[in-house]
Amino acid sequence: MLDILLIATIAIIIGANDASNVFGSAVGSKMLKFKIAIIFFIIFIILGAVINAENPSKVYGNLILDYPDFKKIFLIIIPVVIVTIISLKLKIPSSISQSVIFSLVAFSIVEKLNVNYELFLELIYFWLATPLIAFILSIFFCWLINFIFKVLKLNVFQIDYQIRLSLIFFGCLAAFALGAHLTAAIVGIYSPFLSLELEFINLNLTIDDKKLYFLTSLLIGLGAFYFSQKIVRTIGSQISNIKPVPALAILLTQILILFSFSSNHTIGFLNTYLPFQIFAMPLSASHITFASIIGIASFNKFREVKPEHTIKILLSWVLIPISVFCCSFLLTSIYNF
Amino acid sequence: MLKSHEKELMTSINLFLDNILKINNLFKILLQKYFDNNFEEVQTVTDQISNLESECDALRRDVERRIYSETLIPEIRGDVLGMLENLDKIPGQIQGNAHSFNTEKPKVDSELDQNFLKLCDYASECISLLIEGSRSFFVDKKITIKKCLEVAKVESKADKVSTELKKTIFSNSKNGLATKVHLKYFVEIMDEVANLSEDVADRLIISSSKN
């Protein structure tokens, strides 16, 4: 029961925040009605989760060689929920996947479980590399989109039409790619237990991994449906204030990076060309989005970037995992004590 | 559906710009007919200008309403609306000038005819350049900036002609002060067309540079 509540809480929080990153620009500029955007978001996030979430979810099983007892998983999730809610209050985007993995490692240290530190280091390398890749790719995509419009000599109304269509189409693709990562980040930790026996209001539910991904992504969708509009209005999406062409470039960057680390076909294809091997892992969509925004801002020599806010977010990339690690370490120690 | 709307809008904007050019050409014809003392034709051309000006107003309102109701071009909506509203002042000014010539019938000395026509030509060139720049605003803003900078150059030529005209008017001892002031008024309203074009061009340069 506690596990279900924790999963639901975290999924709803994520849904409320991440829907605006995908369709924020299209809805903000009134190119797409909010309810239609959310329906697209729910459909594609579920599809992405059911089709691809199992790939990045495998990281958890590979990271902890002797996997923890199912009944103690809540000790890993609670610190993540606490830190995510605090970061949300401070209006700082946080990465659920990173938080879960740092919490899992702290838990494993206390529980004296066998951790694959080589894989853990690789994950950290990729988490550091993906924002850098996003920074470069967003600049490239922004330049490419402008170049295409210039070559085609389209007028502003034609460009507006093409951008509207692209924001909807790529928004759906981004939701699909995001579905795998967000779901893997939230419930990937349960994936080694293929048949979960969950107790819910005196009912015994047997949930396999596909059902788990489906239900979690549905909760993410519901979080988006009920709360994201309010969040976009009160907090404001980082993307919704960005002009349509950069917004499209950011979406393309998200899609390319998220697909590259979730779809087995894409990973296989990239590994034949890359000098190093990549593998499926849950990535932080918020870090990719933020790095893309900074990439786009570099076009205007960072004039539109608020230094205080940027420093706060960059610091949070270090402080949030450390906080989760410490919180999880303490909680598990107290529980064992 | 969205695509047909976008085509309709561009057609309406092009029609609006074409009408301004037509009004511009009609005013040149009007002035020529006026100096030929063909006042019947002046009346006909004035009516044509009035009709086209009303059409321009209707087109502008329709385009503005559609851009807002369909929430199109969010990035440059304000600039496009500003451009259309400022451009619409030009046919209004020309219509006013045509009515003034038609109703007040100023007594223009024959030696001033050529300078009046020259002033009209420069104002007309300003409008043509401005319309080219405005059309480019929707496709290539570099061309807009180039054309709008040319407007400023032609406008200063118009200013020189206008100053020359005023000097000639006031140095003429045959005319009384009332006639001189009346003629000066006509020089100023004709020069105002070039000035308005320059103002719109300046706003367009800023909008193009910003985007």
Residue burial A122-132, b: 16+ Cβ < 10 Å; e: rest: bbeeebeebbe
Residue bearing the bigger pLDDT, B83 or A265: B83
State the fold for domain B2-210. Answer: Methane Monooxygenase Hydroxylase; Chain G, domain 1 (1.20.58)
Of A29, A153, A157, the CB nearest to B6: A157
Cα(A151)–Cα(A332) distance, rounded to whole angstroms?
A: 60
State the DSSP string of B39-93: HHHHHHHHHHHHHHHHHHHHHHHHHHHHHHHTT--TTTHHHHHHHHHHHTHHHHH
Kindly determine whether residue B74 and residue A30, on different chains, have CB atoms separated by under 8 Å. Answer: yes
Residues 137-166 of B with CB under 8 A from A: 138-140
Question: With pLDDT > 90 as the criterion, what percentage of chain A qualifies?
Answer: 19
Whether A244 contacts chain B with CB within 8 A: yes
Distance from CA of A302 to the nearest CA of B (A): 16
Q: Residue A113: its pLDDT value, please?
A: 84
* pLDDT for the residue A43: 93
**pLDDT for residue B87 is more than 50:** yes
Inter-chain residue contact A244 with B6, CB threshold 8 Å: no
Torsions phi, psi of A31, nearest 5?
A: -80, -25
Contacts of A154 in chain B (CB under 8 A): 139
pLDDT digits (tens, 9 = 90+) for A64-93: 877 777 778 888 889 988 998 888 788 777
- Residue for token digits 């809008």? B9
CA distances (Å), origin B147, targets A161, B27, B187, B198, B208: 27, 22, 25, 11, 12
* Chain B touched by A240 (CB under 8 Å): no
CB A76, CB A302: distance < 8 Å: no
Q: What pLDDT does A333 receive?
A: 92
| B167-193 pLDDT, tens digit each | 999 998 888 899 999 999 999 999 999
What's the pLDDT score for residue A228?
A: 77
Give which of A155, A163, A299 to mutate to test B binding, by max B Cβ within 10 Å: A155
Least confident piece of the model among A29-33, A34-38, A134-138, A246-250: A29-33
Helix (H) or strand (E) holding B31: helix B2-35
What letter represents residue A154's amino acid?
L
CA atoms within 13 A on the CB side of B160: 8
pLDDT in tens, A9-52: 888 888 877 777 777 767 766 667 788 888 888 999 999 999 98
By C-alpha distance, which of A294, A308, A278, A333 is closest to A106?
A333
Mean pLDDT of A204-211: 71
Cα–Cα distance measured from residue A130 to residue A178, given in angstroms and rounded to the nearest whole number: 15
How high does pLDDT run on average in chain A? 83
A142 neighbors A244 (Cβ within 8 angstroms)? no
A143 to A36, A150, B210: CA distances (angstroms): 30, 10, 17
- Residue A235: pLDDT band (50, 70, 90) is very low
Task: Residue window 107-166, chain A: list those with CB within 8 Å of chain B.
Answer: 153-158, 160-161, 164
Identify the residue with better confidence: A193 or B63: B63
Q: Is A262 helix (H, G, I), strand (E, B) or coil?
A: coil
Q: Which of A125-134, A262-271, A328-337 has the lowest mean pLDDT?
A: A262-271
- From A34, A227, A127, A159, select the one nearest B211 (Cα to Cα): A159
Please state, as a whole number, how many other Cβ atoms lie within 10 Å of the Cβ of residue A269.
Answer: 12
B138–A160 CB contact, under 8 Å: no
Do B200 and B83 meet the contact criterion of CB atoms below 8 Å apart?
Answer: yes
Q: How many domains does chain A have?
A: 1
Give residue limits of the domains in chain B.
Answer: 2-210
Contacts of residue B159, Cβ cutoff 8 Å, sequence gap at least 6: B191, B194
Contact flag B139-A161 (C-beta cutoff 8 Å)? no
- d(C-alpha B7, C-alpha A154), whole Å: 12
Higher pLDDT pick, A220 / A24: A220
DSSP states of B166-202 as a string? HHHHHH-SSS-HHHHHHHHHHHHHHHHHHHHHHHHHH
Total CB pairs under 8 A between chain A and B:
34
Min Cα separation A25/chain B (Å): 11
> Of B73, B80, B140, B141, which to mutate for an interface test with A (greatest number of A Cβ within 10 Å)?
B73
Concatenated DSSP letters of A81-118: HHHHHHHHHTT----HHHHHHHHHHHHHHHHT--B-HH
Among A153, A154, A157, whose Cβ lies nearest the Cβ of B9?
Answer: A157
Compare A299 and B100 and report the one with higher pLDDT: B100
**Interface mutation vs chain B, best among A157, A158, A168, A304, most B CBs within 10 Å:** A157
Closest approach of B161 to chain A, Cα-based (Å) = 38
User: Contact B123/B189 with Cβ under 8 angstroms?
Assistant: no
Q: What is the pLDDT of residue A201?
A: 60
Nearest to A157 among B73, B74, B140 (CB): B73
Instruction: Return the pLDDT at B1.
Output: 44
The tens digit of pLDDT for each residue in A154-204 reads 888 888 888 888 888 998 999 998 888 888 888 877 776 656 566 656 666
CB spacing of B74 vs A164 below 8 angstroms: no
Q: Would you call B30 an interface residue with chain A, using a CB distance cutoff of 8 Å?
A: no
Q: Which of residues 167-206 of A touch B (CB under 8 A)?
A: none
With a CB cutoff of 8 Å and minimum separation 6, the contacts of A128 are none
CB contact under 8 A, A29 and B138: no
Portion 59-98 of B in contact with A at CB < 8 A: 71-76, 80
pLDDT digits (tens, 9 = 90+) for B25-54: 999 999 999 998 899 999 999 999 999 999
Are A155 and B71 within 8 A, CB to CB?
no
Domain that holds residue A138: 2-336
In tens, the pLDDT along A254-292 reads: 899 988 888 888 888 888 888 888 888 888 888 888 888
Compare all CA atoms of chain A with the CA of B68 and give the residue at the minimum distance: A30
